[in-house]
Amino acid sequence: MVSDRPGNWTVRGVTFVVWAVAAASAAYWAMKFAGADPSVPRVAAASRQAAPADPMVVARLLGHTAGTPSAPVAAAQPSAASRFNLMGVVAGKSQQGAALIAVDGKPARPYRVGSVIEEGLVLLSVQPRRAVLGPSMDGPGSVTLELPALNAPGR
């Protein structure tokens, strides 16, 4: 009768570790000779920026004839209201409080009533779900920001 002694399992374990190290070494050297650096992860595709489009070429593609002179078209500037996103409001009864506003897609920052949002724009007042911006504290509001409508449950 043959029995497994504890010494046999030790030999099997050491053999497994030696073969695992040999396989890892072979994989490393195969990648090294293939031109890949195994210590640096590979990026699937390099990102490239597209070259800016020539306005005259685009105009010709869209049917513009060369005989008609045209002035270069300025890039459309986003409206003031579309640059600001109202994320939250803390309003008191006297229209004092603070608003959480994101400017140009950046993370939102808290602004108190009277704070300058950016040059030429001040937080004039806050109301529940609304903030009013204007050029100065003395003048009228030029931009009104509102929180999105609440979704009522069960509708």
pLDDT score at 55: 78
Cα distance between residue 44 and residue 115, in whole Å: 46
What is the CATH T-level fold of the domain 80-146, as seen in this structure? SH3 type barrels. (2.30.30)
Q: Which amino acid, 87?
A: M
What are the extents of the domains in the chain?
A: 80-146
CB atoms closer than 10 angstroms to residue 111: 19
User: Do 142 and 125 form a contact (C-beta atoms < 8 A)?
Assistant: no
Residue by residue, pLDDT tens for the chain (155 residues) are: 565 666 788 888 899 999 999 999 999 888 888 875 555 555 544 455 666 777 777 777 777 776 555 555 555 555 666 788 888 888 877 767 888 888 888 888 888 888 898 888 998 888 888 888 998 888 888 888 888 777 766 55
Q: Is this prediction's pTM over 0.75?
A: no
CB atoms closer than 10 angstroms to residue 61: 9
